[in-house]
Amino acid sequence: MSKYLIENLFGIEGWSIAWYGVIIAVGMVLGVILAIYRARKQGLKDDLIFDFILLALPILRTLGGIMRKSCLQAEHCFTR
């Protein structure tokens, strides 16, 4: 038995959806909704938020992949 109660939430034709992936996606959607709400409150357009997200997500994903790769190659990331 695994140490986690639920390893995967569900699967669709060979793709398994992990529970933490759903939590991350919900957090991102809630963050976008909050950003749109606050932008409207300050008199900004919604398109500004969507443009920023479309620009920022690929950049942050790439930086995260680079950091993960370098961390997996370095021993000091896993030692305490």
Q: Considering only CA atoms, which of 28, 34, 30, 24 is closest in space to residue 54?
A: 28
pTM: 0.63
Query: pLDDT tens digits for 62-77?
Result: 988 888 777 777 666 6
Element (H, E) at 56: helix 46-73
Query: pLDDT tens digits for 39-65?
Result: 999 999 988 888 998 899 889 889 888
pLDDT score, position 26:
94
Query: Cβ distance 50 to 39 under 8 Å?
Result: no
